[in-house]
Structure 1
Amino acid sequence: MDKFLIDGPSKIKGKVSISGSKNASLPILAATLLFDLPVTIKNLPRVKDISTMLNLLKSLGSKVELSKDKKIAKISNPKNMKTFASYSLVKTMRGSILVLGPLVAKLHKSKTSLPGGCLIGARPVNYHLSALEKLGMNYEIKDGYIIAKSNGKLKGAVIKFPKISVGATENSIIAACLAKGKTVLKNCAIEPEIKDLTNFLNLAGAKIEWIGRTCTINGVNSLKSINYSVMADRIEAGTFCVAATLSKGSLEINNLDPKIISTELNLLKKTGAKINKNKNKISIKGPEKIKPIKNIKTKEFPGIPTDLQAQLMVLMCRANGKSSITENIFENRFMHVAELQRLGANITIKNNKAFIDGNTKFIAAELMSSDLRASVALVLAASVANGKSIINRIYHLDRGYEKIENKLKNIGIKIKRLKK
């Protein structure tokens, strides 16, 4: 397994270009299963989760042609598509469950493995299943597989999600596109990645409308061939904004609409960061002294994303005073705390709340990644620590950040990938 060697402390300076969004690409790629005609998806990030999803599509019979840089995929579906999504592909990534809706909507049956992914909490698929059931899908769970079928076309329904769920919202929208009649989804997740998915589907001829957290889909018979460019990755952008703030750095972040991280930027301003926004770039300068924030709370969009919680915790470790973070999305997302404590962090956990004593002088150590976002938080902490840190199990990072060590090297972090 590869690991990172990071020699700190570093000061960040320069420019970085944000890759396409992993969390928008995955549902869009899953939705290509609905199409009879070829579809071209651009601005795909070169990360492990995207390779997994493309391999899953290939296993279902899709023909995938990749550009030389692997950022553009042309996807064509044959008439005799397969309906079996095997455990060997689905086990590494929760996003794989997103093929269930389109397979049942298009082919009226599917055998999809229950998914895997990061160990950050239960994340059950019951919201997906109950919503698809209301659209006319029958299913049983047997030997770790969801065996599903429908009696012909799915039929529109009114569905209220008992809890806001990104994945269940996406799966239901995709499935409802080819359903007969009107589907109304209430209490939906409204993350920018979901709006990107619906924008893609609408351009292909779907009929989807939003009012607040209610999404209305009028089913169509088929979708037309399109070229579509995926939005920028707001979590990657937020990570680099935290990195600049953390290290008294100065960074220009390109290739994104600053509006998609306005909540995060407002939070960083409170810590003392100086931020300028243009049409598709952000300039950010870290403060000499980072101000603490009393209670950061993760929340569904437009709140602070859970995917930035670990990075913000590193920032608060260096803040000049006490702060706290409440994790409201996942019940098991403080696994990075023990590793930050190895670097010298003073953090106490009570239930879903972390209390952080600031002014930490991180001292280098050997560390272990537990999940995707925790991994990048350890990279940030190691970059401002004194000495050489080793971060193990960085395959988590490769799932969601495109060539992160190259981007970090270019802005002044002394980082090296050690092959094993």
Structure 2
Amino acid sequence: MSHIKIRGGHSLHGEIEVQGAKNAALPIIAASVLNNGMVRLRRCPQIMDVHHMLRILQQSGARIMWDDGDVWVKTDQMDTVAVSSLDAGKMRSSIILLGALLGRGQEVIMPYPGGCTIGARPIDWHIDALRKMNVQIDLKENKIECKTTGLKGNRIELPYPSVGVTENILLAAVLADGVTEIIHAAMEPEIADLCRFLKKSGACIEGEGTERIWIKGVKTLHDTEYTIMADRIAAGTYMAAAAAVGGEIVLKGIHIENVRAVADVLVESGCGLIIYKESIKIIAPSMLLAVKEIETEPYPGFPTDMQSQMLACLCQARGDSTVTEHIFENRYKVVPELIRMGGNITVDQRRAVIHGPCRMHGETVEAKELRGGAALVIAGLAAEGETVIHGSEHIERGYQDICRDLGQLGAEICCITDHTERRWEDN
């Protein structure tokens, strides 16, 4: 198993290109099966979740080819209705294949989705939505069986703006008969990116980026090339890292609108920002200031996927900062590890208070999920001495090469895999 080693105490300087967005790439890859031909995706992140999704398509008959940062997906020979349990069970995003594969065919058998254990992720809303679109669904002990005589558009009102459910409805509706209207749709930038890809491929969609989306079914989609948006959570992670350890960094390829909530918190903590057309410069203060209240909310609110990283960052702030988690009940799994490293954090149900500044010290810790692992990287950068993070495979699910990126900014960080260590000076 691989692990990450960090020698803390170095400020960050320089610039990096932000990777393609994990949470946009996965539904767009799923959407590629709706076209009986070829799709080329530029800036596709080479991360574990993307590789799992591509393997699922390969096992269903698709042909995959990587060309530097681009991936080609050829789907003209896909004909398998059974989804691999090996890869689908490793990622929660596999659930959106239901809508895509039902749009392509009339039957799907797949295992229950896996992924990070950060809270309840019921599939009830996915099932309810697809049933309204003329899908018969049988929930077995370890698999989901779906059949349809033809997808039909419908008006679907969500009880909550769920990203995954919005994506599943979109993917099912594109080739369905009639018009589908999604009420209380998720408004995340990744939803808009999926819609832009689908529209470029020939879909008829209106209202993306709002809480109401209309999809008029079309007969077919066509081959297309598309550039995936930059990853706003990776960008936010590096912004939080720079704030925690000091320095000035430039993140290229990111738009401020997509990281506005994170940027606002960092400005409140004393950071300076210079905003360019397609890049952002963050300038850390000599001492971070506490942030009175952060509450995770659906977009455009503060993203739950940045909550753990901000906990680690605010350990360096002077005063008490408060974070309230409204999305997932188990997002504080990283807190005991941060406390082991010197963090002074108290948790009461969904509310965490960080009493800073904390003198962090290097420890051997374990990443238990993706964003908590990124938080431990930030803590390690700010700590005195050496930090070793086990479970780095969780981090690799969402960051293409966090060690390379931070190394380019001046961090002393390396990944050790299969007994082979990257030397510090290689950074």
Report the TM-score, using the length of structure 2 for normalisation: 0.96
Tell me, what secondary structure is at the counterpart of 1:412?
A: coil
* Aligned counterpart for 1:371 among listed residues 359, 366, 369: 369
What amino acid does structure 2 have at the position aligned with 1:86?
A: S
* Aligned counterpart for 1:116 among listed residues 109, 114, 117: 114
Output the CA distance in 2 between the equivalents of 1:344 and 1:403.
Answer: 26
**1:299 aligned residue:** 297
**1:19 aligned residue:** 19
Q: Is the 8 A contact 2:61 2:77 kept in 1?
A: no
**Residues 286-328 of structure 1 deviation map (CA, whole Å, 9 limit, x = unaligned):** 0111111111001000001001001111121111001110001
List aligned pairs for 1:332-351, cutoff 5 A.
332-351=330-349
Output the CA distance in 2 between the equivalents of 1:162 and 1:270.
Answer: 33
Q: Is the 8 A contact 2:344 2:356 kept in 1?
A: yes
Tell me: CA distance 1:80–1:236, structure 2 relative to 1, closer, same or farther (3 Å): closer
**1:408 aligned residue:** 406
Output the CA distance in 1 between the equivalents of 2:392 and 2:184.
Answer: 36
Gaps spanning 5+ residues in structure 2: where?
Answer: 419-427
Q: Is the 8 A contact 2:62 2:77 kept in 1?
A: no
**Residues 113-162 of structure 1 deviation map (CA, whole Å, 9 limit, x = unaligned):** 101000101111111111011001101111311000001x2011000011
Q: Is the 8 A contact 2:37 2:76 kept in 1?
A: no
List aligned pairs for 1:17-416, cutoff 5 A.
17-67=17-67, 69=68, 71-79=69-77, 81-151=79-149, 153-210=150-207, 212-416=210-414
> What is the root-mean-square deviation in Å for CA atoms of aligned residues?
1.0
Output the CA distance in 2 between the equivalents of 1:110 and 1:33.
Answer: 13
Output the CA distance in 2 between the equivalents of 1:179 and 1:236.
Answer: 35
Tell me: CA distance 1:387–1:80, structure 2 relative to 1, closer, same or farther (3 Å): closer
**2:9 aligned residue:** 9
Q: Is the 8 A contact 2:8 2:412 kept in 1?
A: yes
Output the CA distance in 1 between the equivalents of 2:188 and 2:9.
Answer: 35
Output the CA distance in 2 between the equivalents of 1:207 and 1:35.
Answer: 14
Aligned-residue offset at 1:79:
5.0
Output the CA distance in 2 between the equivalents of 1:55 and 1:277.
Answer: 38
Aligned-residue offset at 1:57:
0.7
Output the CA distance in 2 between the equivalents of 1:414 and 1:256.
Answer: 25
Q: Is the 8 A contact 2:206 2:213 kept in 1?
A: yes
Aligned-residue offset at 1:80:
5.3
What amino acid does structure 1 have at the position aligned with 2:157?
A: K
Tell me: CA distance 1:412–1:80, structure 2 relative to 1, closer, same or farther (3 Å): closer
Tell me, what secondary structure is at the counterpart of 2:396?
A: helix
Tell me, what secondary structure is at the counterpart of 1:417?
A: strand
What amino acid does structure 2 have at the position aligned with 1:354?
A: A
Tell me: CA distance 1:345–1:80, structure 2 relative to 1, closer, same or farther (3 Å): closer
**Residues 326-350 of structure 1 deviation map (CA, whole Å, 9 limit, x = unaligned):** 0011011100000000011111111
Tell me, what secondary structure is at the counterpart of 2:207?
A: strand
Tell me, what secondary structure is at the counterpart of 1:400?
A: coil
What amino acid does structure 2 have at the position aligned with 1:231?
A: M
Q: Is the 8 A contact 2:22 2:50 kept in 1?
A: yes
Tell me, what secondary structure is at the counterpart of 1:238?
A: helix
What amino acid does structure 1 have at the position aligned with 2:278?
A: N
Gaps spanning 5+ residues in structure 1: where?
Answer: none
What amino acid does structure 1 have at the position aligned with 2:321?
A: S
**Residues 194-229 of structure 1 deviation map (CA, whole Å, 9 limit, x = unaligned):** 000001001111111117301110000001111111
**Residues 99-124 of structure 1 deviation map (CA, whole Å, 9 limit, x = unaligned):** 11111122111001101000101111
Output the CA distance in 1 between the equivalents of 2:78 and 2:288.
Answer: 58
Tell me: CA distance 1:46–1:295, structure 2 relative to 1, closer, same or farther (3 Å): same
Q: Is the 8 A contact 2:6 2:412 kept in 1?
A: yes
